[in-house]
Chain A
Amino acid sequence: MNEAHEITRILFEGFSNWSIYLFYVIGYTAIGIFIYGVYVQIRKYRRGKPDASWGEFFARFKDMSKTMATHRTLKRRDKSAGRAHALIFFGFVLLFIGTATITLEYDILEPIFGITFWYGDFYLWFSLILDLAGVGLIGGLLYMMYRRKWLKLPKLDYARPDREPGDPDYDRSGYRREDWAFLWALILIGFTGFLLEAARLIWLSDTATVWDYRWWSPIGALMAHVMAGLGMGAEAAGNFRTGLWWFHGVLALAFVALIPYTKVKHIFTASASLMFRDPMAGKRLPSVPEDQEDIGIKTITDLTWKQLLHLDSCTKCGRCHEACPATAVGAPLSPRDVILSLREFANKSLQSKELPEQAELDVHGKDVGQVFMETLWSCRTCMACVEICPVAIEHVPIIVQMRRKLVDEGNMEPILQKTMQSIHKNGNSMNESKRKRPRWTKELPFTIKDARKEPVDVMWFVGDYASFDPRNQVVTRSFAKLMKQAGVDFGLLYEAEMNAGNDVRRVGEEGLYEFLANANISTLEKCDFNSIVTTDPHSFNTIRNEYPDFGGEFEIQHYTTLLKQLFEQGKLKLNKKLDYRVTFHDPCHLGRYNKGYDAPRELIKLLGCELIEMDRNRDNSFCCGAGGGRIWIPDPVGIEKPSENRMREAAEIEELDVFIVSCPKDLTMFEDALKTAGYEGKFVVKELIELVNECVEFDESEVIDADVVSA
């Protein structure tokens, strides 16, 4: 048995003093280059606007650590890539900890305090764990190479939908080269590490304290046996080791030095991005202080440091590119490319010592590196990109803030201008008189309370489409009857209700949004009620998440949760069940925005329907294309609309009877798309309220007959 102290690896064994010095010179140079790079990056971020995300530091840190430890966000919708990344990540982390441990003993504890611990059992376990870490690292990297080379994933194609082939920034081939350089560099570092281990074992095969314990480094030992079997002697191994040692060492140090200059920086930026994630991103857009003159993002320095940091965390995984409804239908927008464009812009202009002239910082325009107006207007603010981004990039707030500038400068479709003007004038987006808003109530067999005049329990905020659109009015009346039947004490704002402003805000017309929000809040505050209900997920989102910023704190629910409660409390009863085969479309503003995935599904099951999910459901629901003000801008003719794309997906369900929606805009969009996509007669689009209405037992018989549209 050997002395525990002797079982270790002697660092720099057989090295002359000058070569050790040389190594340290290279090492410190690498660290110097690294630190300078970090400094340049931090200087870049500090050129952005302030952001208040430093609060709750420890809670944020905990959340980030949890996300990284579980790799939760990386495994979503791409398990294999997530697992491979976990192998690389944990392999890298362990190998880093290993190197740091050796440094701790060799360069700090031993020279200063004479403390050593890297020997004996500790050393052996250390060797074993690091060997396995190395296997994980290389395994993960090999899968990533396979995936890039052979899987031909569309999301890894960097060609841009917002540029034409031939444009200088069209295919971003530089990124592809960087990806491969990154993979090769890491795999070479890992592989030469094992080779080095094997060479050392052969070189010291006469030393019992090394050779006898070789199986604690199983991969190294295995390779040593193979290499020895191929005829490598101790002396040859020693020489081989010296050359290889320098190659491995210099490559590893170069890798470290280049971290802040290459995509490798994501190991820091992505972690920080996760840490500064805003759970309300996009759901609650940032307000503009009253006294602030400028609005929106015009120049790259209008981004906050946090947004600049987000840009740097993108690893081009393509999950947003894959999820975006605009990208899917060939619109000139990919969320990934907006982020990368801005990143490249920031790197070009904000990394130099002196900040360039203001005019050179404008991110809007038609030049290389600038973001096109058409790109920004293609966004439907459906939040699919923010939802899936594994590193918590918040695309939608950036896009909306850029649009604020476009709106401020009047760079928008004339038809959208008209709509905004009409909303300002009439309080609704349908260019209808204010007086017409409550007209849908006239055909009801009862009168709904005017909540402005008498107290009610539930305030019903109807919303524009549900109030004015004839098809939606049928649904709106059905909901009124359901609430009446359930004995809910409810009322309306009648003519005083205005467009809630959710989509106006997402267009980027912040001033008009402030006007609408303030008007609705002041009207609501004058009324006496306990909570609000709405059938419109858009109104639901802004009243729930954004009105509080303007002083409007209201309890609000979407009708799906209210109906569910009414059934649970026995206030609504079914008199029959439906045997339809149905699918359900999650509205963006109910689902992704507010996580209301379950209530509608529970209702559907309660009705007895057979629910078949589409591939893209819940958090991956595919936007109908109406969000972000796009309902007011006609989609280009001749190419598939997002709503038609969705109909195509639904049509894959065999013998589908009903495509269920729970949003007025969805009803409008999908009923239209059902026809234009050519599926009319195959299945129907219905509001969930209509199905509930079919099955509920009403006291008065005349109510049952009214407004029932048969499937």
Chain B
Amino acid sequence: MKILVAVKEVAALDEDFEIRDDQLDVDEDFLLYDLNEWDDFSLEEAMVIKESSDTEVEVVVVSVGPERVDDVLRKCLAKGADRAIRVWDDAMEGSDSVTIGRILSAVVEKEKPDMVFAGVQSSDDAAGSTGISLAASLNWPHAAVVAGLEYKPGSNKAKITRELEGGLSQEVEIDCPSVLTIQLGINTPRYASLRGIKQAAAKPVDEISLSDLGLSDSDVGVDAALSRVRRMYIPEKGMASMIEGTPSEQAAKLAEIIREFKGE
């Protein structure tokens, strides 16, 4: 019995960040990396199943990304994951979420897990599509925004609760294996103590390249992406302003602004 948990190292903005010169992303100097918040919950869900199971359950975490991603994988190992896999090749730079889903599906085919968990979305790109495109690539059943899960390792069905708009919940029975994207609050993620993280540093992170997955350069990266970032920018704000003074002063000021806009 095996559960694969797909995780992502997300970037958070530091104070006073700057946009890269090519205007496609934030300058990396101003990014702080950490495990995606949703993934804390999906890993915890896998750990809960593992710990309450009578049979052996292996929890494998997988992430697509460069070497720095090892930090978050180690954090997952510190929280109790049995194994960690990192998939990377420089050619993957610029892949969109659908491509990442395809890469992950190759990992799933290699690992043959009984269940795959992913977060509903990542806090940086917020595309919310990696988990679902992974399911699509595999042609597996999937459920998104899972807020409750009843699953016994080895069984071919799982009962899940999905969170809908307007405070509604939906109870769904799903065939397994399947891909579930896990919502925040489904459980209480455990704390990975620094000592635990340090000890997990001794555990290996398996590195997998494109060729290990039977993929080629043309399957990944910017060119394979179906969507491309054109520009990243900070939208202008502060267009509204309060006009103060007596009614006649306010009217005069307003007239002046209108004239200005008309270019008079």
* Residues of A near any B CB (own CB < 8 A): 288, 293, 295, 407-408, 410, 412, 414, 417, 420-421, 424-426, 432-436, 509-512, 514-515
Contacts and interface: CB of A to CB of B under 8 A. Distances in A.
B55 interface: no
A426 B14 CA distance: 10
A509 B193 contact: yes
A417 B188 CA distance: 11
A512 B194 contact: yes
Contact of B191 (A410, A436, A514, A515): A410
A510 B195 contact: yes
A511 B198 contact: yes
B194 A408 contact: no
A425 B192 CA distance: 13
Given A425-B32, A425-B34, A407 B193 contact: yes
Given A410-B190, A414-B188, A511 B15 contact: no
B199 interface: yes
A294 to B, nearest CB: 10
B67 interface: no
A439 to B, nearest CB: 9
B109 interface: no
Nearest to A293: B199
Given A410-B190, A421-B191, A424-B194, 4 more contacts: A435-B16, A511-B197, A514-B195, A515-B194
B135 to A, nearest CB: 31
Contacts of A509: 193-194
A436 B17 CA distance: 13
A435 B193 contact: no
B94 interface: no
Nearest to A416: B191
5 pairs of A and B residues whose beta carbons are closest in the complex: A511-B194, A511-B195, A410-B191, A410-B190, A433-B15
B196 interface: yes
A637 to B, nearest CB: 22
Interface string B231-259: 00000000000000000000000000000
Interface in B161-213: 188, 190-199
Interface of B: 14-16, 32, 34, 188, 190-199
Contacts of A288: 195
Nearest to B14: A433
A509 B190 CA distance: 14
A196 to B, nearest CB: 64
Contact of A436 (B15, B32, B193, B197): B15
B14 A511 contact: no
B14 A407 contact: no
Contacts of B195: 288, 295, 408, 510-511, 514
Query: Which of B16, B188, B193, B198 has most chain A Cβ within 10 Å?
Result: B193
24 contacts: A288-B195, A293-B199, A408-B196, A410-B192, A420-B191, A424-B194, A425-B32, A425-B34, A426-B32, A433-B15, A434-B14, A435-B14, A435-B15, A436-B15, A509-B193, A510-B195, A511-B193, A511-B194, A511-B195, A511-B196, A511-B197, A511-B198, A512-B194, A514-B195
A298 to B, nearest CB: 14
A84 to B, nearest CB: 48
B24 to A, nearest CB: 23
Nearest to A508: B193
A592 B34 CA distance: 39
Nearest to B78: A511
Contacts of B16: 435
A515 B195 CA distance: 9
Contacts of A432: 15
B191 A417 contact: yes
A6 B188 CA distance: 85
Nearest to B192: A410
Contacts of B34: 425
A82 to B, nearest CB: 43
A511 B188 CA distance: 22
Nearest to B79: A410
B191 A412 contact: yes
Contacts of B198: 511
Contacts of B188: 414
B241 to A, nearest CB: 27
B197 to A, nearest CB: 7
A481 B195 CA distance: 41
Nearest to B194: A511
Contacts of B193: 295, 407-408, 410, 509, 511-512
Nearest to B190: A410
Contacts of B15: 432-433, 435-436
B197 A407 contact: no
B75 to A, nearest CB: 10
A295 B196 CA distance: 10
Nearest to B199: A293
Nearest to A426: B32
A694 B198 CA distance: 49
Contacts of B192: 410
B31 to A, nearest CB: 12
Given A435-B14, A435-B16, A436-B15, A514 B194 contact: yes
Contacts of A407: 191, 193
A421 B37 CA distance: 12
A435 B192 CA distance: 26
Contacts of B196: 408, 511
Contacts of A434: 14
Nearest to A290: B198
Contacts of A433: 14-15
A509 B195 CA distance: 8
B136 to A, nearest CB: 34
B248 to A, nearest CB: 40
A514 B197 CA distance: 13
Contacts of B190: 410
A412 B16 CA distance: 33
A60 B59 CA distance: 53
Nearest to A288: B195
A433 B16 CA distance: 10
Contacts of A435: 14-16
A410 B16 CA distance: 34
Query: Which of A426, A433, A510 has most chain B Cβ within 10 Å?
Result: A433
Contacts of A414: 188
B33 to A, nearest CB: 9
A407 B16 CA distance: 34
A288 B188 CA distance: 28
B80 to A, nearest CB: 10
B185 to A, nearest CB: 11
Contacts of B14: 433-435
A23 to B, nearest CB: 61
B237 to A, nearest CB: 21
Nearest to A408: B193
A347 B188 CA distance: 36
Nearest to A513: B194
Nearest to A433: B15
Nearest to B198: A511
